A and B are shown apart, each in its own frame.
Chain A
Amino acid sequence: MNEQTLFVVQRISAAILIPFVLVHLGLILVAVEGGLSANEILSRTHGNFIWLLFYGLFVVAAAIHAPIGIRNILREWTKLDWRMINGLAMVLCAILLILGMSAVIAVF
């Protein structure tokens, strides 16, 4: 992907993340009312395709958005060359996808 595409993809993923983060924060506020238990969480997420889709997309958007940003930060703050930087960004993307998706699937 060239820089222009990465730039555009990062902005679009940011726009997607905004409502996701807001709903996620709102959900936390609602969920912690009256204590938080594993049962309560699972009863909400178990077999619920809407939450599966919501958090699945959330993870994908984050896994795209964050590595592109980290790439820029590494370029500014380290002396690493592009190969190294791109490699690290890909690793971060993979970690976010694997951890995020396994969490989403685990509570489904």
Chain B
Amino acid sequence: MKIDNALQVRVWRGGKNGYWSEYAVEARDNQTVLDVVTEIQRKFEPSLAYRFACRVGVCGSCAMTVNGQPRWTCRTHVRRVIHDELLTIEPLRNLPRIKDLVCDLEPFIQTWQRAGAIFQGQTTRNDRPQKVNPESSSRKLADSALQCINCAVCYSACDVVYWNRRYIGPAALNRVWTLLNDERHTAQQETFNKAFSRDGCGSCHSHGNCTRYCPVELSPANSIAGLKKLAFISVKNGK
């Protein structure tokens, strides 16, 4: 099929030892990268594996590497990223490739455990929910770090993760920052110790790629800077 107005799209196929496949996809005025992937699957490659759910920038499951940068494909207009009429689409960096555009998120999810980024409350389901004063200074510190949806874009953008796959990485450390500023979280010291263990927040270079690429415009780099400051003052004990 000859298309006059075509985008050249190079897509990763297979797992770790995969290969690039090229497709010519009709260029449209309004077209996201996810639209392009969907079109390729519907028209040329029914077996193409990729993930998405909401298509409107809410779930974070459509993250891929587009022309070398980690992005939510449903929120990325082709026009904004196309280079020399060529679009390359591959899975997120720093995670094992399963098939085509799908990577295994398990190592990323495990970083949450390793960082101690797990909430521990003092109440049970029978108690009333504890109140957090929205005006308190700790709540304000946590404010800008709260909206993470675990999309792994920052993890994929981080060069330190690329060099040292054992580094906990930006997303889990950002979550730790919210917990250490959560007065309901009881395991403060434990969480801090885990986040500051080997390959933890001391390994961060503060170069801010995580912040640059976070689609929700959070700043994991800022959160990590906050944790590093806490290393100087002795850690707040759980109240």
Are these two chains actual partners, yes or no? yes
Which residues of A are in contact with B by a Cβ distance under 8 Å? 2-4, 6-8, 11, 72, 75-77, 82
Report yes or no: B199 in contact with A75, Cβ–Cβ below 8 A: yes
Cα–Cα, bound, A4→B193 (Å): 8
In-complex Cβ contact of B163 among A2, A6, A11, A76 (8 A): A76
Are A7 and B163 neighbours in the complex by a CB distance under 8 Å? no
Q: By the criterion CB–CB under 8 Å, are B203 and A4 in contact?
A: no
A2 CA to B198 CA, complexed, in Å: 8
Minimum distance in angstroms from A42 CB to a CB of chain B: 41
Q: How many residues of B contact A (CB 8 A)?
A: 14
Tell me whether B91 is interfacial, beta carbon within 8 Å. no
CB distance from A19 to the nearest CB of B (A): 20
Bound complex: CA A7 to CA B200 (Å): 11
Contact A7–B196 (Cβ < 8 Å):
yes
Identity of the chain A residue whose Cβ is nearest the Cβ of B160 in the assembled complex:
A76
B164: Cβ under 8 A from any A Cβ: yes
A3 touches B202 (CB 8 A): yes
Q: Which 7 A-B pairs rank lowest in CB-CB distance, beginning with the nearest?
A: A7-B202, A76-B163, A4-B196, A76-B164, A4-B231, A3-B202, A7-B231
Interface centre among A4, A7, A82 (most CB of B within 10 A): A4
Residue numbers in A under 8 Å from B236 (CB-CB): none
Tell me the complex Cα distance, A76–B160, Å.
Answer: 7
How far apart sit A11 and B199, CA to CA, in the bound complex (Å)?
17
Q: List B contacts of A77 (CB < 8 A).
A: 163
Contacting pair B160 A3 (CB below 8 A): no
| CB-based contact B197/A3 at 8 Å | yes
Contacting A6 at CB < 8 Å: which of B160, B193, B199, B202? Answer: B202
Chain B residue, CB-CB nearest to A79: B164
Please report the C-alpha to C-alpha distance between residue A82 and residue B164 in the assembled complex, in whole angstroms.
13
Contacts of A7 in B (CB 8 A): 196, 202, 228, 231
Q: What CA separation (Å) do A75 and B199 show in the bound complex?
A: 9
- In the bound complex, CA of A47 to CA of B166 (Å): 51
Given the complex of chains A and B, what is the CA–CA distance between A4 and B200 in angstroms? Answer: 10
Complex: chain B residue closest to A6, CB-CB: B202
Which of A3, A8, A76 is within 8 Å of B198, CB to CB?
A3
* Chain A neighbourhood of B232, CB < 8 A: 8, 11
Beta-carbon contacts under 8 Å, B148-196 to A: 160, 163-164, 193, 196
Bound complex: CA A7 to CA B197 (Å):
11
Q: Find B203's partner among A11, A72, A82 (CB 8 Å cutoff).
A: A72
Q: Can you list 19 residue pairs at the A/B interface with Cβ under 8 Å?
A: A2-B196, A2-B197, A3-B196, A3-B198, A3-B200, A4-B193, A4-B196, A4-B231, A6-B202, A8-B232, A11-B232, A72-B203, A75-B164, A75-B199, A76-B160, A76-B163, A76-B164, A76-B203, A82-B198
